[in-house]
Amino acid sequence: MRFHPPLEEGRLIRRYKRFLADIETVHGELLTIHCPNTGSMLNCQVEGGQVWFSRSNDPKRKLPGTWEVGETPQGRLFCVNTGRANGLIEEALRAGVITELNGFTELKREVAYGQESSRIDFRLDYPCGPAYVEVKSVTLGFDGSSVAAFPDAVTQRGAKHLRELAHLARDGIRAVQLYCVNLTGIDAVRPADEIDSAYAAALREAVSCGVEVLAYGVRLTHEEMVVDRRLEVVFGG
């Protein structure tokens, strides 16, 4: 997935009200842009840090651009725009990169399912039956460690999705939690017990019910994003 048109560069002044960020472009222009991330972006955002953003010429938009990529204090790149994850994963699925899920005959997105009125990110149809795949974007890293964690903030919605996957698995339907790691320098992923113990417990319970857990890393620059490798999932505890 290439960024088109090319991203513009700036520095972060501040992020506030969750979805807003003030930046200064390399040309000295001061802008308020959209921050498309519902998480805390813990250990990622830093005032004065480098940012890359897409600019919109749509007169109907209230904000002139969207924050897409940032640089952590440790020099790692991370994708701010969580909405990119599903597009990346669809690209990877269709290209056969996620080998564990190869062989499907049809791919559907945002399919209604479950006991709690949910929508699954992907339903993959195989000759032997469907697989339901939930995608989460991971950006929480730690200084001196190549292990990322999810979530970076309490997520009741994320726990709900795990319960739904567990229900499917109990009924003999293939269910997959897929972590798309949008942070460079990472080799493995773990549940962030210290941030959301309920989510971590729900993940372990889902695994005990038969839910598959996969993690894939992204080759990320300010020019493109490509899912390129499988990562280890570490449960601990």
Backbone angles phi, psi at 88, to 5 degrees: -60, -45
19: containing domain = 8-75
Establish if 1 belongs to a structural domain.
Answer: no
Mean pLDDT of 116-139: 97
Render pLDDT for 71-88 as a digit per residue (tens, 0 to 9): 999 899 999 999 999 999
Residue 171 class from Cβ within 10 Å (0-12 exposed, 13-18 middle, 19+ buried)? exposed
Same domain as 102, residue 39: no
75, 103, 124 — which closes off a domain?
A: 75
So what's the pLDDT on residue 59? Answer: 86
75, 99, 117 — which closes off a domain?
A: 75
Percent of the chain predicted with pLDDT > 90: 91
Establish if 2 belongs to a structural domain.
Answer: no
Same domain as 113, residue 32: no
So what's the pLDDT on residue 20? Answer: 96
CATH of the domain at 44: 2.40.50.580
So what's the pLDDT on residue 15? Answer: 94
DSSP secondary structure string, 75-107?
A: S-EEE--TTHHHHHHHHHHHHT-SGGGTT-SEE
Largest CA distance in the chain: 58
Q: Is residue 46 pLDDT above 90, yes or no?
A: no
Establish if 133 belongs to a structural domain.
Answer: yes
Same domain as 140, residue 40: no
Render pLDDT for 135-184 as a digit per residue (tens, 0 to 9): 999 999 999 999 999 999 999 999 999 999 999 999 999 999 999 999 99
Same domain as 217, residue 113: yes
